[in-house]
């Protein structure tokens, strides 16, 4: 592809340089191959301009960035006003194929479940559907675990191109605030965007909640195509701000939840009832009443399922078929997932690693615990330290027994992280070794109890220092249960 074709109106390129053939894109100088265009991005820790010489030595035929190196450049340098956005748009042109229907989900909690549920609804309706997000890529042809919530633009657009060639026509993916703020999703043709909620998270990245919300709003202001749809959970503090932006864009606005517009395009919750480990819902959409048997636990899963239903309806699927498909949903891996039982006491694993998510998970399980509700959790190192006492207080308030353990301490002292949580969790036990904490919790279970193991969900590694050690909450539970049988 010619250099000029990758930038369009985003940069001015002289005619003699415009015809340069580019055979690949790179943002890491170590990954540059002969013929590549290297994007020298300025980051929080280092400036990509430092690696221009290394990229040229590896065969880069051109460099792009927001400022040329002070000493000049030995290959053509393309100056762009916004190098990150230029990268995303160039990646979209280089890897040009995308599924015909794309839905993006943003919010603090629920993104993974909504993306998975939307994929499942589409699958039940007969579409070739996929989802991309925290747990990885799930598609009809392959499942790849362990992806970032929002991959870098080159990886993302390469993946979109590949799954489209494999027959995927419908894609649901998670849109993180980092990805939106860093323009990683620009160039994706988003037909419908969804907003779940906004609570404290990523305060190590965003200076304040206003900045965090502004990043989320980019999905609706800038990325959803003209005439597209916006699906908004209407029951939260910042819902009205998202609704306003969607309506200013004249997007098809579908509000869902107890405050959903059931008389119009929205989905209103008229009534709910717990039915074992399932729930019965009465919903209203376009003035018509629907009865749905939802095979999921927790009020927040109702919200996630309805946001997914809104995305399917907003992208053209028939409401009757969509609501029928809700009765076939399966929870995403590590999202309030029932992984075992001891003495009649169920054990759940959940990814809840932020205050609001932990509160929702515990509150969802409370009706199932006539005995004790027990929680095992920790907090990640090198992340927002302010949420640690908040999570400790939430655990103490909502659980009968609290065990504080290690999550991903990273470069921090694990004991110091635990101490910050314990300071607000009066009466909690401290067991640093996560496997031991899980084992001790399971050993104490009696009939009527419920155990929640929170924080890591689907993860299969524990980050300690600069190493990732194999660890899975699922495997830890399975090992304890196997010992009890032996």
pLDDT confidence of 145, banded at 50, 70, 90? Answer: confident
User: What percent of the chain stands above pLDDT 70?
Assistant: 97
The answer to whether the beta carbons of residues 228 and 315 sit under 8 Å apart is no
Cα separation, 301 vs 326, whole angstroms:
11
**Do 304 and 439 have their domain in common?**
no
Q: How many CA atoms lie within 13 A of 93 on its CB side?
A: 18
Half-sphere exposure of 408 (CA within 13 A, CB side): 23
pLDDT score of 133 more than 80: yes
| Residue 388 near residue 394 (C-beta atoms within 8 A) | no
Q: Which of 79-83, 99-103, 204-208 has the highest mean pLDDT?
A: 99-103
Number of domains in the chain: 3
Domain that includes residue 190, residue range:
95-328
Measure the N-to-C terminal CA separation of the chain; round to a whole number of Å. 62
Enter the tokens of residue 279: 């729930």
Tell me: do 178 and 111 sit in the same domain.
yes
Confidence class for position 485, pLDDT limits 50, 70, 90: confident
| pLDDT-above-90 percentage for the chain | 86
Edge to edge, the sheet with strand 337-342 lists 337-342, 345-350, 450-454, 373-377, 401-404, 429-430
Last residue of a domain, one of 328, 354, 385: 328
E strand or H helix at 351? none
Pair (51, 80) in one structural domain: yes
The DSSP annotation for 14-39 comes to: -HHHHT-B--EEESSGGG--TTEEEE
Reported as half-sphere exposure (CB side, CA atoms, 13 A), residue 120 has a value of 22
Q: What is the bridge-based pairing of β-strands 170-174 and 101-106?
A: parallel
More confident residue, 211 or 464: 464
Q: What is the mean pLDDT of residues 136-144?
A: 92
Same domain, 118 and 73: no
- The more confidently predicted of residues 69 and 221 is 221
Place of tokens 């070739």: 128
Same domain as 131, residue 26 = no
Alpha carbon separation from 8 to 4, 13, 98 (Å, rounded) = 6, 9, 19
Answer yes or no: is pLDDT of 383 > 80.
yes
Do residues 256 and 309 make contact, with C-beta atoms less than 8 angstroms apart?
yes
Instruction: Please indicate, yes or no, whether residues 108 and 79 belong to a single structural domain of this protein.
Output: no
pLDDT score at 87: 96
Torsion from C-alpha of 225, 199, 358, 482, nearest 10 degrees = 30
Mean pLDDT of 10-37: 91
Closest CA to 424 of 377, 370, 382, 381: 377
> Sorting pLDDT into bands at 50, 70 and 90, what band is 188?
very high
Dist. CA 213–CA 235, nearest whole Å: 16
Q: Are residues 363 and 437 in the same domain?
A: yes
Q: Predicted confidence band at 149 (pLDDT cuts at 50, 70, 90)?
A: low
Instruction: Report the pLDDT averaged over residues 339-358.
Output: 95
The CATH number given to whatever domain includes residue 416 is 3.90.190.20
| Among 16-20, 123-127, 329-333, 394-398, the least confident range | 16-20
Q: Which residues of 275-301 are buried (b: 16+ CB within 10 A; e: fewer)?
A: eeeebebebbbeeeebebebbbbbbbb
Phi, psi angles (nearest 5°) of residue 286: 55, 35
Are the C-beta atoms of 279 and 296 separated by less than 8 Å? Answer: yes
Q: Alpha-carbon distance 454 to 473, whole Å?
A: 9
153 and 70 within one domain: no
Q: What is the pLDDT of residues 99-127, one digit of tens each?
A: 999 999 999 889 999 999 999 999 999 99
Q: What is the pLDDT, as a whole number, of residue 200? A: 52
Parallel, antiparallel, or unpaired: how do β-strands 143-145 and 136-138 relate? antiparallel
CATH number at residue 130: 3.40.1190.10
**Residue finishing a domain among 86, 112, 131:** 86
Do 354 and 263 lie in a common domain?
no
- State which of 86, 110, 138 marks the end of a domain: 86
Query: H or E element: which one contains 221?
Result: none
Residues 372 and 267 in one domain: no
Whether 257 and 403 map to the same domain: the answer is: no
Domain containing residue 46: CATH number? 3.40.1390.10
Residue 310 sits in the same domain as residue 410: no
Of 56-60, 68-72, 461-465, 466-470, the one with minimum mean pLDDT is 68-72
Q: How confident is the model at residue 16 (pLDDT cuts 50, 70, 90)?
A: confident
pLDDT band at 42 (very low <50, low <70, confident <90, very high): confident
188-223 core/surface letters (b: 16 or more CB in 10 A; e: else): bebbbbbbbbbbebbbebbeeeeebbbbbbbbbeeb
196 or 150, greater pLDDT: 196
- The DSSP H or E segment spanning 468 is strand 467-470
Helices and strands per DSSP (H, E), number in the chain: 16, 23
């Amino acid at each position: 592809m010619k250099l000029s074709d990758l930038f369009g109106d985003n940069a001015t390129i002289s005619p003699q340089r415009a015809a340069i053939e580019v055979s690949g894109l790179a943002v890491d100088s170590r990954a540059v191959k002969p013929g590549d265009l290297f994007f020298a991005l300025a980051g929080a820790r280092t400036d990509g301009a430092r690696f221009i010489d290394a990229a040229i030595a590896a065969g880069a035929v051109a460099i792009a960035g927001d400022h040329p190196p002070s000493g000049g450049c030995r290959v053509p340098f393309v100056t762009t006003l916004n190098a990150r956005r230029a990268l995303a748009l160039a990646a979209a042109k280089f890897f040009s194929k995308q599924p015909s229907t794309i839905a993006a989900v943003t919010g603090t909690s629920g993104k993974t479940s909504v993306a998975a549920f939307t994929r499942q609804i589409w699958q039940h309706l007969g579409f070739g559907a996929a989802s991309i997000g925290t747990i990885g890529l799930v598609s009809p042809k392959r499942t790849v675990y362990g992806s970032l919530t929002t991959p870098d633009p080159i990886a993302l657009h390469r993946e979109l191109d590949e799954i489209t060639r494999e027959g995927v026509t419908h894609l649901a993916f998670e849109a993180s605030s980092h990805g939106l703020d860093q323009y990683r999703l620009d160039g994706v043709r988003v037909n419908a965007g969804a907003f779940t909620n906004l609570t404290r998270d990523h305060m190590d990245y965003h200076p304040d909640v206003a900045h965090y919300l502004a990043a989320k709003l980019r999905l609706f202001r800038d990325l959803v195509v003209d005439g597209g749809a916006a699906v908004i959970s209407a029951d939260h503090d910042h819902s009205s701000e998202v609704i306003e932006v969607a309506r200013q864009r004249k997007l098809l606005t579908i509000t869902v939840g107890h405050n959903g517009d059931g008389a119009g395009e929205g989905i209103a919750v008229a009534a709910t009832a717990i039915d074992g480990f399932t729930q019965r819902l009465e919903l209203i959409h376009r003035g018509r009443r629907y009865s749905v048997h939802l095979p999921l636990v927790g009020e927040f899963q109702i919200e996630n399922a309805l946001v997914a239903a809104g995305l399917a309806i907003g992208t053209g699927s028939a409401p009757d078929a969509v609501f029928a498909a809700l009765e076939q949903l399966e929870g995403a891996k590590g999202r309030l997932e029932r992984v075992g039982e001891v003495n009649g006491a169920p054990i759940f694993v959940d990814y809840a690693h932020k205050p609001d998510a932990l509160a929702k998970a515990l509150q969802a399980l409370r009706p199932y615990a006539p005995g004790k509700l027990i929680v095992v959790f920790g907090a990640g190192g090198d992340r927002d330290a302010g949420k640690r006492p908040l999570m400790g207080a939430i655990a103490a308030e909502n659980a009968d027994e609290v065990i504080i353990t290690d999550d991903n301490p990273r470069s921090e002292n694990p004991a110091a992280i635990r101490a910050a949580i314990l300071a607000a969790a009066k009466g909690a036990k401290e067991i640093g070794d996560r496997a031991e904490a899980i084992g001790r919790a399971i050993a104490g279970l009696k009939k009527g109890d419920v155990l929640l193991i929170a924080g890591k969900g689907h993860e299969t590694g524990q980050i300690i220092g600069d190493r990732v050690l194999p660890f899975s909450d699922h495997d830890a539970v399975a090992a304890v249960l196997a010992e009890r049988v032996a």
